[in-house]
Structure 1
Amino acid sequence: MAVFLQLLLLFGSTVEAFYIPGWSIRSYADNEQIPLLVNKVYSDNTQLQFAYFDLPFVCPPTGQRRYGGLLSGQNIPLNIGEVLRGDRISASDIDITMGHNNECSYLCTRQISRKELKIARDMVRDGYVVEWIVDNLPGATSFVTVDKTRKYYAAGFKLGFTDTSSGRPRYYLNNHHTIVLRYRKAAGRAGEQGKKVIVGFEVYSKSIGLDNKRLESGCPLSLHDVDQNFQLYLAPNHTDAKDPERYAHSSYQPNAADEVIDENDGAMLSIPYTYSVYFQEDDTIDWSRRWDLYFVNQEEGSKIHWLAIINSLIICGLLTGIVLMIFAKTIRSDIRGYKDAAAEEGKARLKRRARKAVVAAGSSISAGSVGPGIGNATPTTSEKMHASSVGVGTGGGLLDQEAGSVEMSALDADILTSEDEAIEDVTGWKLLHGDVFRKPKFGSLLAPLVGSGMQLLFMSFSLVLLSAVGVLNPSYRGGFISFGVGLFVFAGLFSGYFSARVYRTFDGLNWRRNMFVTAVLFPGLLFSAVFVLNLFVWAQASSTAIPFGTLIAILMLWLCIQMPLVYVGSWYGYVRIGAWVHPTKTTAVPRQIPRQAWYIRDIRSVLLAGLIPFAVIFIELLFVFQSLWQDKSGYYYVFGYLAVVSVILVLTIAEVTVVTIYIRLCSENYNWWWQSFIVGGSSAIWVFLYCIWFYFAKLHITGFVSSLLFFSHSFIACCVYALLTGTVGFLSTYTFMRRIYGAIKAD
């Protein structure tokens, strides 16, 4: 345990020094243009994202040539991970030149109708945040800690804000953006040539109303003294549906609910957009550490992460002690007792065989002396000696023979009684050696599930490992999802191999059919669920929707790459390797299973067993949920802690499943194949219940589609988790079974 803790500390320190390395350095010379890319808008209150240039109230691209031959509005090529996470990156018209400060530049004036105004108001009300990108850094809002000792970034900047001071909410749009780029001298030869690297990208947005004085260029006369913010408001064309002229000459204004507005009346609202650019030299930030500011505010949670690890280690340590006690004392003593009983039974059988041989010999001699006894003939001396040695009298004839037979019967009864007592010592799991490896019902379904679980297990642990060592990080945008898709497709080899071996172990005959089910069952259900959800998102015109071309690409990856890999793995596992050989033979007639105790019945044992692995991960699960659902502008980066917790989770699931199945075996219940898989994945039930609690207690998601996306994605994630952990429970239990019943056979 001490060695394990030392390795744990070493791994944690390595991850902390590694967690966000640089991806590729880009240096800029003075007067060189720097492209500003616009991406999307997103909100913590909804699951729907939108491409920035798809918004009807922002400046549309002009198509002018920008840096590197890009045209404004031109889409940047994206990897599959960026597309799946909703990114839609395009070049903008904002002009940024290295080293040139720009106090104000006019961008455009956008005319919007009442319908487009309503969209803008709704998005400001929902708290949407804008993401711009410069040199692969997302534009950030700068904050300072309460003690003013540290500065940190929150990715993105507000689209607008809501003012409720007057009682009724008023919505304001931020139409001026101040861009601050922090830079330092580049290292090496590029620095000697006077080039610089960008180490920070900050955006400060401001709302400037139409009543503020403006220059001929369209810029405000003063950016510091703003008299009025830009309100998203157009005077209604009607005040009351029943009497439009009722309040025409009155100071009273009706509520918004009473207003009847014609969205096609032709009224337009003009929105002027301007921006400023400033460069600030900052030698305190290294280029390789420029992402640190995005995580400074999250470093306070490191103590909680260690608390989660300590909590997990305590639970896992207790379970390990229980398992070791079962192995070292209970099972070992049971096996020793079984061996002793078997030895006594063997001795009793030898004695009984020897005694029967003696009785048979005595009976033949007695039968030969019956005639002389009746005829008063006198036996010879040798006959007397032999008769006395077997306990048969020489002068009694038939009476002496009957006495000897009675004596032999009593002796045989004593032998049988001792044998029965030895057999009575063999109870519990030892009685099931002829039934424990009996193939389960619906084994043709269990085999593909185990194969899919191994596929997910390989993908998940590879992703966590690559993220922990820093290969996958936020600077590689979309890399986590892209690698996940690639690893999942490649892991079709493992899926086919393990599914085929389990299938053949269950005496399956049609391995090609099993291969097809393995390749289609889980990926097919997953693809179908994503496609159906995509229809709802398509209807909202959200960038969260997966484009049709990407769906076709994913379909081709599945059918043209993964399925052949599953075929290869299945052929190798079924034909070349074959089934696992059980240590004991299965009897023809199954045993009758006695009535089970209440705490080991299916539903109760599943819920109780699943609670322990959930207790191992629920603290770290909170950070994951906050990153995914509550704070989409942040990045989950503590993969080192997650890797340690994942290893502890796997050990805990294996131990919980082994203990649960061992208790069932002691109750003479040999139906463990499906039970081990279900118990291993049972903590997914608690995780889904935790998702429901998190939705109502922590989130403020509104709208049917957003709620549907949350619960659907949560359910899919829990199914993936159940497959993964269920496979861990199944394989660990099978290993346990081979170990204990193999020890019995070895005797």
Structure 2
Amino acid sequence: MKFFRPSPSLATLLALRVSLSAAFYLPGVAPTDYNEGDPVALNVNRLTPAILPSSQQVQSLISYDYYHEFFHFCSPDGGPKKISESLGSILFGDRILTSPFKLNMAKNDTCKLLCTSRYDVRSSKFTNMRIKQGYNLNWLIDGLPAATLTSQVGDESNQFYSQGFSLGGVGGDQKPFLNNHYDIIVDYHRIPGRNERQNRVVGVVVQPSSRTQKISGGAVKTADCNSEQPQYLREDGDTEVAFTYTVYWIESPTAWATRWDKYLHVFDPRIHWFSLVNSAIIVVFLTGMVSMVLLKTLRKDIARYNQLDLNEDVQEDSGWKLVHGDVFRPPKNPMLLSIFLGSGAQIFFMTGVTILFALLGFLSPSGRGSLATAMIIFYTLLGFVGGYTSARVYKSFGGESWKKNILFTPIFIPGVVFSTFFFLNFFLIWKGSSGAVPLWTMIALICIWFVISLPLSFAGSWFGFRAPPVEAPVRTNQIPRQIPEQAMYLKPIPSMLLVGILPFGAIFVELYFIMSSIWFQRVYYMFGFLFVCYGIMIITCSTVTILMIYFLLCSENYHWHWRAFFISGASAFYVLLNAFIYWLSKLSLGGLASNVLYLGYSVLIGFLFFILTGTIGFFSSWYFVKKIYASIKID
């Protein structure tokens, strides 16, 4: 899908009303009411790379602070002040600060001079490069992001708000120009029947333009905003730039509760529905195959096996029943597998609870970073689940190094994730990006990890080791059985590649939209589709792994523990492959830092997805294996 960002005329913007969608507003923030003339704060956020209209690609992943020394934007008297942010907002790179803009409710202002700035050669080169890379400015008015009116390719009547607006543009001579004048159009809703504080902000659009403006006056300077000459930044000398703005207030029928509807645009919802229908068909097909195996083949096998005289030659029978004395033999490296399963269970419940809370409307897009904050909180509180699962599984495997299991379960996987995140953060610091996580935030994450997550995991492990182990329904032989030669499709690599593509196919479309929201700075809110896709992915992982483990046991191969984990977890390979294709087709990252960041975070996401899907596949297979071997009579 391709999108473009038109630059409509001011008259068009003033006349146009974007129709409201039928979606309900996700609650989370109480409205702020204003009297006419009350000051309305305009806060600024980081500068972010956007899709270039010419190539439909993103050329950088580095965000910059609004008051970066090379941009020379106007700052308020006394310097900008930080606006309090959530932990998730900080981790995702938001840096919200105050600004010198003066807005008053329902009061129009025309051609107000903000300040004049001088760009030296170095600043001009830096800013021109960011303009060529298509960077956007991001402002906030009453919690609403300043937006650009955007249309979808092929459907110009379907217009919506796209967050942010361009830093500048490139003329026909390929020469970049700086947008130094801003037409700020604020929609407000007047509450009928109220005399005081009866106005609420319900929409913000900014139309930037480039104008070489003349400054006049003595102590109180004014600017002439009628110039049509673009403002270029010279790279062979200093450039004087005047920043101006105009404010238009427009009364709107849009209610405060639905003001986000204009921002939450669904790009061709038919693709979502097609994906769901396609995934549902796959699930029905797989469930039918597994049901056929369980209800027909297994039932006949069990009945025939139970009718045999076990004192006679049982070798006449074959298949999965012959490995009953080895199928519950502990796997190799039980410690590592139990740690993976504990962390996987923790991620599984964290993901499910987060999606459910978002689906119910508790994680509103108006609460910046609320989704990431919720994920951190739920993962921390679910440390008990991770510790309990790891300890119980390790005890069931006959493990004896319980102290190592208690210690490594809350440290190994989170340690890998945090170390990778810490390493990638150095590239952001090197590039002077606003996305670099501050030191105090890193310390806060470590404190949350050690003060809350570790004790909960230790408590879960204590209960897990006190609980009885999961008993095997059959005895394990002392001497391992020899495994015959396996068919090609049952060997590790072919079976992983064959099975792993099915869970990935169930979430492919939603994964595309999630990736776009991360790298293209879009709001993702289709949690209904995501919830259904998550359920389909769980069913798909379970069914395909059970089916492959059944075939594995029928070939008299009882090494199913790690195989079940890797078969289902192999869908992470396709997630990484998709990320690589996305990197080649949708991104055009020129710098080392951006490429390292993209590949590093993609590998991190793939690793966590591997742990999640592998855990689903293992536990579903474990339940299946226990069920079928509990159904046969063993002397």
Q: Same fold (TM over 0.5)?
A: yes
Query: Secondary structure at the residue paired with 2:590?
Result: coil
Is 1:312 matched with 2:279? yes
Q: Determine the structure 1 residue equivalent to 2:75.
A: 61
Paired residue type of 2:144: L
TM-score scaled by length of structure 1: 0.79
Rate the CA distance shift 1:425–1:337 in 2: closer, same or farther, 3 A.
farther
Is 1:206 matched with 2:222? no
Q: Determine the structure 2 residue equivalent to 1:705.
A: 593
Q: How does 1:388-399 map to 2 (within 5 A)?
A: none
How far apart, CA to CA, are the structure 1 residues paired with 2:451 and 2:28? 35
Residues 565-614 of structure 1: CA distance to partner in whole angstroms, max 9, x if unpaired?
A: 11000000111x13111111101011000010111001111111101112
Paired residue type of 1:670: Y
Is 1:473 matched with 2:478? no
Tell me by how many angstroms 1:78 deviates.
1.4
- Aligned with residue 196 of structure 2, among 173, 193, 197: 193
Query: Secondary structure at the residue paired with 1:693?
Result: helix
How far apart, CA to CA, are the structure 2 residues paired with 1:454 and 1:219? 63
Q: Determine the structure 2 residue equivalent to 1:492.
A: 383
Q: Determine the structure 1 residue equivalent to 2:36.
A: 30
How far apart, CA to CA, are the structure 1 residues paired with 2:202 and 2:25? 17
Task: Report if the CA contact (8 A) 2:111-2:225 is conserved.
Answer: no
Q: How does 1:524-563 map to 2 (within 5 A)?
A: 524-563=415-454
Is 1:51 matched with 2:20? no
Q: Determine the structure 1 residue equivalent to 2:92.
A: 85
Rate the CA distance shift 1:32–1:199 in 2: closer, same or farther, 3 A.
same
- Aligned with residue 166 of structure 2, among 141, 158, 165: 158
Task: Report if the CA contact (8 A) 1:489-1:562 is conserved.
Answer: yes
Query: Secondary structure at the residue paired with 1:341?
Result: coil
Paired residue type of 2:245: Y
How far apart, CA to CA, are the structure 1 residues paired with 2:518 and 2:234? 34
Total equivalences in the alignment = 605
Residues 667-694 of structure 1: CA distance to partner in whole angstroms, max 9, x if unpaired?
A: 0000001111111111100110111011
Tell me by how many angstroms 1:221 deviates.
2.8
How far apart, CA to CA, are the structure 2 residues paired with 1:572 and 1:589? 33
Task: Report if the CA contact (8 A) 2:66-2:73 is conserved.
Answer: no
Paired residue type of 2:303: R
Paired residue type of 2:581: W
How far apart, CA to CA, are the structure 2 residues paired with 1:213 and 1:740? 85
Is 1:696 matched with 2:587? no
Residues 332-374 of structure 1: CA distance to partner in whole angstroms, max 9, x if unpaired?
A: 11000001114xx5xxx6xxxxxxxxxxxxxxxxxxxxxxxxx
Is 1:510 matched with 2:401? yes
Paired residue type of 1:321: G
How far apart, CA to CA, are the structure 2 residues paired with 1:618 and 1:171? 38
Q: Determine the structure 1 residue equivalent to 2:496.
A: 606
Query: Secondary structure at the residue paired with 1:230?
Result: coil
Tell me by how many angstroms 1:426 deviates.
2.4
Tell me by how many angstroms 1:193 deviates.
2.5
Residues 47-86 of structure 1: CA distance to partner in whole angstroms, max 9, x if unpaired?
A: 111110124233342335xxxxxxx511011111111011
- After alignment, is 119-128 or 146-155 more displaced? 146-155
Is 1:330 matched with 2:297? yes
Q: How does 1:102-141 map to 2 (within 5 A)?
A: 102-141=109-148
Tell me by how many angstroms 1:230 deviates.
0.1
Task: Report if the CA contact (8 A) 1:617-1:649 is conserved.
Answer: yes
- Aligned with residue 259 of structure 2, among 273, 290, 293: 290
Is 1:675 matched with 2:557? no
Tell me by how many angstroms 1:443 deviates.
0.6
How far apart, CA to CA, are the structure 1 residues paired with 2:28 and 2:65? 27
Paired residue type of 1:205: P
Q: CA RMSD in A?
A: 1.9
Paired residue type of 1:448: I
How far apart, CA to CA, are the structure 2 residues paired with 1:546 and 1:746? 60
Gapped runs of 5+ residues in structure 1?
Answer: 1-14, 65-71, 237-266, 350-418
Task: Report if the CA contact (8 A) 2:33-2:197 is conserved.
Answer: no
Q: How does 1:272-421 map to 2 (within 5 A)?
A: 272-283=242-253, 285-296=254-265, 298=266, 300-342=267-309, 345=310, 419-420=312-313
Q: Determine the structure 2 residue equivalent to 1:414.
A: none
Q: Determine the structure 2 residue equivalent to 1:245.
A: none
Is 1:646 matched with 2:534? yes
Rate the CA distance shift 1:341–1:39 in 2: closer, same or farther, 3 A.
same
Rate the CA distance shift 1:141–1:218 in 2: closer, same or farther, 3 A.
farther
TM-score scaled by length of structure 2: 0.92
How far apart, CA to CA, are the structure 1 residues paired with 2:77 and 2:116? 16
Tell me by how many angstroms 1:22 deviates.
5.5
Tell me by how many angstroms 1:620 deviates.
2.1
Q: Determine the structure 2 residue equivalent to 1:442.
A: 333
Q: Determine the structure 2 residue equivalent to 1:460.
A: 351
Rate the CA distance shift 1:154–1:571 in 2: closer, same or farther, 3 A.
same
Rate the CA distance shift 1:194–1:713 in 2: closer, same or farther, 3 A.
closer
Larger fraction in helix:
1
How far apart, CA to CA, are the structure 2 residues paired with 1:536 and 1:193? 51
How far apart, CA to CA, are the structure 1 residues paired with 2:30 and 2:203? 15
Rate the CA distance shift 1:109–1:558 in 2: closer, same or farther, 3 A.
same
Query: Secondary structure at the residue paired with 1:40?
Result: coil
Task: Report if the CA contact (8 A) 1:181-1:198 is conserved.
Answer: yes
